[in-house]
Amino acid sequence: MRIHLAQISSFVSIAFATLILFTGAHAQPPTPQMPSPPPMRFVLAEDRNQLTATKDPKARIRLTIELAEVRLTKMEQLTAQKSFPEASEALGNYLGLIEDAMHFVGSMTQDKNSTRDLYRRLDIALRAQIPRLAVMRRQTPSDYSIHLKAAEEFVRSMRSDALDSFYGHTVLREPPNTDAKNASPENKRP
């Protein structure tokens, strides 16, 4: 039985081709795409300079709200253009401004009417901005919409903190009722 050199080379080439096909067919599936990173909350340097130059608290909050509106409008435009990474960066700037405003007002004396007026200005502005965030979230892919959802919750929380400033120290909150039996009117005593 004589094996020719041509037969051996064809056998080796078939084995090599089979090996290549086998390893290519059983390669590991590609790793799933990582979600986009959350936006970093920060105030731009030029915005920070404008805010620190403003000495009057009322004017500073008004300027902060205007700057936040500019960032929100920019986010809406970038979302409409489907530039989601840039919109995410603008979201971080927006959240940084809101957080900065709440820290600024929070550092003031809480029992003064002027402080409550500043909180009220923030509350009114944030109440109008929450639906705009929700509309953008619906137009955004899920990789980025999770950050808009978190931003909505953050802004709602900031708005809640602003509204809580109107309650004095004498207001006590009722603990949440966890037992469904105790919640029914028949079980309550007059």
Beta strands in 84-145 (DSSP E): none
| Average pLDDT of span 47-72 | 94
In a domain, 74, yes or no: yes
Is position 135 within any domain? Answer: yes
Cβ(154)–Cβ(137) below 8 Å = no
In a domain, 177, yes or no: no
Interatomic CA distance for residues 36 and 163, integer angstroms: 33
How big is the CA angle at 161 (ends 157 and 163), to the nearest 5 degrees?
A: 115
Q: What is the CATH number of the domain that holds 87?
A: 1.20.58
Query: Average pLDDT in the 63-73 region?
Result: 95
- Asked if residue 144 is part of any domain, the answer here is yes
Which 3 state secondary structure label does DSSP give 146? helix
Residues in the chain: 190
Residue 186 lies inside a defined structural domain of this protein: no
User: Mean pLDDT: which of 35-44, 89-98, 162-171 is highest?
Assistant: 89-98
Task: Say how far apart CA 80 and CA 72 lie, in whole Å.
Answer: 12
Task: Give me the percent of the chain exceeding a pLDDT of 70.
Answer: 74
pLDDT class of 78 with cuts at 50, 70, 90: very high
Within 10 angstroms of residue 90's Cβ, the number of other Cβ atoms is: 21
Give residue-wise pLDDT tens across range 96-133.
999 999 999 989 887 788 888 999 999 999 999 999 99
Hey, is 129 helix, strand or coil?
helix
Q: Is the pLDDT of residue 24 over 60?
A: no
Identify whether 183 is part of a domain.
no
Query: Does some domain include residue 169?
Result: no
Give the number of domains in the chain. 1
Q: Which range marks the domain in which residue 115 is found?
A: 45-164
- Give dist(CA 63, CA 55) in Å, integer: 11
